[in-house]
Structure formats: C-alpha cells, structure tokens
Structure 1
C-alpha cells in the first residue's frame, strides 16, 4: 500500500527559476497565438503602444512546471509522467510586462492543494512571477494538473476555495453576446511550441501523438487559452491588453492544427466579466475545448468593435 500524501509537508516545498525575454520574444509569442502581423501595436517593438499579450505570463509558468513535475515522483505515490494532464489554469496580471530591452524574471512555485478525485488527484500549483531588477510582481498563475492513478486517500475531495482562481463559470443558456473564430494554421502547434518553450513532443511528433491516443499533434493548452483571451479582449475591450485583469479556464479537450476554434462569449456584471467557452466543429461534431471560463476586465470604455 502506498504511503499517504503529506500535504502540509508538501506545501513547504518551493521551486524558483530565472528567465529572460526581449521584444522579439513578445512578438514571436503574439504571432504564435494568431495576432496579425499588421497589428503593429503587438508586433512592432517601436510602436508607441507595443505590449505583450496578457497570457505571455504563461511562458515562465511553462518553464517552472518542468522542475515541479520532475519533483512529483518524490511526493506523489505511483506518479507517472504520461498520466499528468493540465486541467485548469488561472492567470492574473498584476503589472504590464516591460516591453523594451532585455527583462529578467524570477518565478517561484509552491503546491497549494492536492485533492482526491477517486481515479487520481488534482494538484494546484501557485506561481508568482516578479521583475528581477525591481521586485515588482508581474503576474500570478495557478496551474492545476489532474494526475491519474495517484491514491488520494485521506485528502479532501473538494478544492480549498481561492476566490477567482477556483471559481467556475458555466456558459449561460442563451445566445452568446459575441462570437469570434480563429482558423489555426498547420504550423501553429510547432510555432507555439517554440515560442512558449513547451517542448513536449506531443505537440509536434505524430508518432508520439498516436502513442498517446491522438490522431496527430495537438496545440498546447495555453495556446488555446491565449486565443480565447485575445477574442474576449477584441470583442469587449477594443483590443486593449491593458483592460485584462484575470482569466480562469478548464482545459476540456484538444485542438489540432488546422481546426477552427470558435469563442462564444457572454457579458456579465455590466461587462466587467466575460464568460466564455471555446469549441471546434459544428453540430454533432462539435466539441468543447475550453469550458467554465471567464475573463475579468479592468474598467474602461464601453464595448467596441474587435481590431484583432
């Protein structure tokens, strides 16, 4: 019998990494999400409004989840890497990403919660990223993984409430207030893989994808997340990245390069919150790839036309 998971001891663990980026990193990441090359505010470093997409904060998160995941066999009985799935994500932007020169970030991760899900456990990792030169906090993420076949006896069967980070947002039973679509390119998975640093071969190698039970390579979940945030900001914030406050999603299914991703959006709370879901396919072939999702927006102008 596997030893019980000592959650309190695990919460004392932490991981820290340092990463750097430049305006070129921002541009490549934006293009990998599907931002148009003609959108100079997000693709030209000399534009006066040049800025990083809010989900640029996923890059240091992806980097630190490598050492976190490699440590999991030391505290999760029966852990196997192939049973590890990115299930939910929360990202809150605290301050804009510096967008000139070379910026160094320090990112620290800690285990927040482990929940018994009967067939395995979910592990919530809290991740804080700061500007290494100033100490200013840039963003906070929570990456929640579902890990099959890990025994959770003795653990809670419900997550510890953490406000917006653990909220769920079912899609309303009415027509969406806005719908935007993005046709992924055949190269998008490979491009996002390189831009984000997520070098899992599942996102590029057909043989690895087939061994995992998929018909071919699939997009990284944070790529689908990033596309959805772009759609929400485009539809409800005039494309202004500065309006973004936070996003919470459940990653419900894969997207394959070449598929059209449709983001269906509903305004709530006077437009300060946008509930959304992302789907691919039509009719009986439709499948949800992002669910229980919402973006909170900072105060600003009323809804306008998308410029994305």
Structure 2
C-alpha cells in the first residue's frame, strides 16, 4: 500500500531552517492579487495596497505562513516515511493556520513538520501535515494542511472528523468580488508551489481537469486579504487563526464572490465562482479574530 499510516505517523519530525525577507512577502502578496484591488482609481499605488507591496510600509498577511520557506512543511510531509503517492492524485483538501504572534517582515525560524494524522475516506485518504515554526523569541505559527489523495483510501483506518460550519441564516454583512487574473497561478507558484497542475495543460488533463487550476492556497490568501481589508480595517495583527475547506476549483480568469458574516470573535465566509453560477470554492471558512 502506498500509504503506511502507522509508519507515517510514527516517523520522527523533520526540522529545517527557513528564512524570508521583504521580497518574499511582496511576491506572495502580488501572487494573491495585491495592487489590483477593484474599485479604486489607482489600485497599484493606493495607500491601502502599498501596505502589501511597498517595503517601507509592509505588513504581512498571516496566510504567508503557508508559503514561508517555500512551503517546506507540505513538501516534507509528502515525502515522509510510509508515504509514496502519485502527485497527480493529490489535492489540497483544507488548511488551518494558528498565529501565535504577528509574522515579521524579515525572519529566520525553525520549521518542524510531521504527519499528524492519516484518515480513511473510503475512495481517498487524507493526510494531515502539521508544521510548527518558531524563532528565537518563541512560537510563530502552527499550520495544518489536509491533503486529499485520491485512490488511497479503503485501508480500514479512522475516517476522521466531519464537522461542518453551518452558514448563518441571514444575509451576509458584506459581499465583495475579487477578479482572478489569467496569469495568477503562474505568479503565485513562484512562492514555492511548483505543482504542474497549476501551469501545465497536459498535466492538468492527466489529473482530470480541462485546464490548469488555481492553487487552493491562492484562493485562501485572496479571501483572507478581502476579510482583513473589508472588516478588520487592514489590521493583520487581529487574525488569530484561519481555517477553510477547499470545496471546489477555481480557473484563472474567473471571479471570486466572497460573502462575510461578522460574529463575536470571528468572521465566517463563503467563497464561490461567479461565472459558474456560484459554484463553491471555499467552505467552512472561519477567521478567528482579536
């Protein structure tokens, strides 16, 4: 069996030093659409957008943690002992980030990664790949990536949690739309996710898609930026955790419709693709805030 759950979970955690600076932050922000905020006269130089793109004013969107060190936590997890899988069968099923303090613009940290769980969903397996980053001042973030591996279930393991976030029974407090550029995936992948599914049409067809799809984590970052800019007055430090389930694909060139419901200590969102009759993109999406 390509996945030996017991062996993968028992494997020693892997640690590596990761570093980043303002260039990595700026590239990530551009990869999720910073500088192209719709509805402004001069979006690229608007002061609110320069917080994402100009080094002298830079702050860090917390979802940057998913690509810090070129996403070594996920890469390391997929090559862990007990795991031997076909990349074409892999999809990102969900993502959670917990922030222990704001991410600095320049950093050097130790990232420790391990396979935290392997769930049996019948026709597929889900790997929970956990990465924890800490620097000299202590913990920075914990990241859990849920990786969906088609064709690797049915081994008799635990099915895992299946809790869903019930959508509020009222109209959203805010609804915004964000256009995804045709070249968005090509730019986003420069932050470290080189899966050809997001660039190579032939590979995308082998994986069952008519053309390359956008990275789920790109939609994830676009959504968090929209929440921060719309309901948190641009204050990235208020984000305590951010979780989602990837419920559908996005094709470059489409438009994301982001619905937001503000509650006590959290903001819930729902994300759909406008051009495909509001086809689901992100579900069970919660931003815990201070």
State whether TM-score is above 0.5: yes
Q: Distance in 1 between matches of 2:137 and 2:258?
A: 36
Deviates more, 1:238-247 or 1:56-65: 56-65
What is the aligned-residue RMSD (CA, Å)?
A: 2.2
TM-score (ref. length: structure 2): 0.88
1:75 is matched with: 82
The 5-angstrom pairing of residues 103-122 of structure 1 reads 103-122=107-126
Contact in 2 for aligned 1:108/1:128 (Cα 8 Å): yes
- What number of residue pairs does the alignment pair up? 278
Distance 1:68 1:236, change over 3 A: same
| Residue of structure 1 in register with 2:92 after alignment | 86
1:207-245 Cα shifts (integer Å, max 9, x gaps): 222222222221111110001111111221111111111
Q: Which moved more, 1:201-210 or 1:144-153?
A: 144-153
> Runs in 1 of length 4+ with deviation above 3 angstroms?
2-6, 151-154
Match of 1:192 in 2: 188
TM-score by length of 1: 0.83
1:57 to 58, 65, 86: 65
Structure 2 residue 32 is matched with structure 1 residue 33: yes
8 Å CA contact 1:170, 1:293 repeated in 2: no
Identify if the C-alpha distance between structure 1 residues 204 and 266 changes in structure 2 by more than 3 Å, giving closer, same or farther. same
Return 5+ residue gaps in structure 1 as ranges: 160-165, 299-308
> Offset at 1:275?
0.9
Range that drifts further, 21-30 or 6-15: 6-15
Shift of the alpha carbon at 1:179?
0.7
The alignment status of 1:203 with 2:205, answered yes or no, reads no
CA–CA distance in 2 between the matches of 1:57 and 1:247?
11
| Alpha-carbon shift at residue 19 of structure 1 (Å) | 2.1
Displacement after TM superposition at 1:30 (Å):
0.9
Say yes or no: does 1:291 pair with 2:283. Answer: yes
